[in-house]
Structure 1
Amino acid sequence: MLEEEYETRRRLPRRLRSPEEPEAPFSYMLRDARIADLPHILAIYNHYVANSTVTFDEQPTRLRELRAKFQHLVKLGMPYLVAESPSGGILGYAYVAPWRERAAYRYTGESSIYLGPAATGKGLGRVLLAELIERSRAVGIKELIAVIADQGAEASIALHESFGFREIGRMGRVGYKFERWLGTILLQKSLR
């Protein structure tokens, strides 16, 4: 008899077993991102650079590059937030950047959301996107754009669509990563 079979047979019936420990609730607090958060944000982002096609970056971002981008977005008054665990770890982050730098685009932003690997599948992306939409409205953003890879990001597309983003276009074969061609799907939500 295999050891696994023996273990299965030895188990008490469910009614006689002691109750299992409930899983600790997933808790966090949303707040504005700070410079001190950047090494944690960098680790989350670079995980996706190395392991996925949700970003088309192929080389890890450096802290000084992230710091410059963060300071630019803060100077512009764009929303940049983090989800922090009770122990102080950063579980995920979200921000809005200008869609384009030309002045006529000043009311349009591009949203980005990244979750740490341990924080996926727990509803945190939904909470971050809801807060990002509200904060975008508060700073005068009228249109939000999401640019999502056309492969490997089905959950992100579904999340955005559940918030009323609608597909406005596709660009095929515009990126090449991990020895394959990738496209993007553009989604848009009006905040008016």
Structure 2
Amino acid sequence: MIRDVTPDDAKKIAEIYNYYIEKTIVTFEYDMVSEQTIKDRIKKVKDKNFPYFVYEQDGIVVGYAYLSNWRERAAYDITLETSVYLDHKATGNGIGSILYQELIDRARKINLHSLIGVISLPNPESRKLHRKFNFELIGNFKESGIKFGKLIDVEFWQLIL
């Protein structure tokens, strides 16, 4: 079941996201996030009236998705960045696709022009997901981040709505 996020979801979202911080290159954050940090981030997204929602299974949040500013200047307001995260134990069951489709549908409802997906490499699952929804690979920024002592490339994928 998909529903809009509430501040009460912050603890579970932090748990999901902290796995990716600690174990993967999916995010370039180094420090674990607290429940309060996630509450603040939820508020920032909701204050801008951008979509932020969760996917529940048996009453437990197992994934979430939201849109955020791709760039801060007003001219970029027609383009937002996508974020989709799943509990690492819930991957491979189609939930990511369900969340991404909902994100695209909601983006269309608020009359966005395009969406940007940002992928740190390697990440074949995310590449596959973006191709599935007809995102186009726009560019690859070589060695643009560092995590776990390794230089990491970052790809930008775009969907014109």
What is the TM-score when the length of structure 2 is the normalising length?
Answer: 0.97
- What secondary structure, in the 3-state scheme, does the structure 1 residue paired with 2:98 have? helix
Q: Percent identity?
A: 37
CA distance in 1, matches of 2:57, 2:132: 25
Shift of 1:117: 1.5
1:33 is aligned to: 5
CA distance in 2, matches of 1:36, 1:63: 9
Q: Indicate which of 38, 50, 68 corresponds to 2:22.
A: 50
- What secondary structure, in the 3-state scheme, does the structure 2 residue paired with 1:106 have? helix
Asked if 2 retains the 8 angstrom alpha-carbon contact of 1:79 and 1:95, the reply is: yes
**Residue type of the alignment partner of 1:49:** I
Structure 1 residue ranges without an equivalent (≥5): 1-28
Shift of 1:73: 0.7
Asked if 2 retains the 8 angstrom alpha-carbon contact of 1:108 and 1:144, the reply is: yes
Structure 2 residue ranges without an equivalent (≥5): none
User: 1:105-124 to 2 correspondence within 5 Å?
Assistant: 105-124=76-95
2:147 is aligned to: 177
Aligned Cα RMSD in Å?
0.9
What is the TM-score when the length of structure 1 is the normalising length?
Answer: 0.82
CA distance in 2, matches of 1:140, 1:34: 24
Matched pairs, number: 161
- Residue 134 in 1 paired to residue 105 in 2? yes
Shift of 1:39: 0.5
Q: Indicate which of 47, 72, 76 corresponds to 2:44.
A: 72
- What secondary structure, in the 3-state scheme, does the structure 2 residue paired with 1:49 have? helix
Spell out structure 1 runs of 4+ moving beyond 4 A. Answer: none
Asked if 2 retains the 8 angstrom alpha-carbon contact of 1:77 and 1:139, the reply is: no
Shift of 1:179: 1.6
CA deviations over 1:64-118 (Å, ceiling 9, x no partner): 22222210110111011100112x2111001100111111111110001100022
**Residue type of the alignment partner of 1:180:** K
Asked if 1 retains the 8 angstrom alpha-carbon contact of 2:18 and 2:32, the reply is: yes
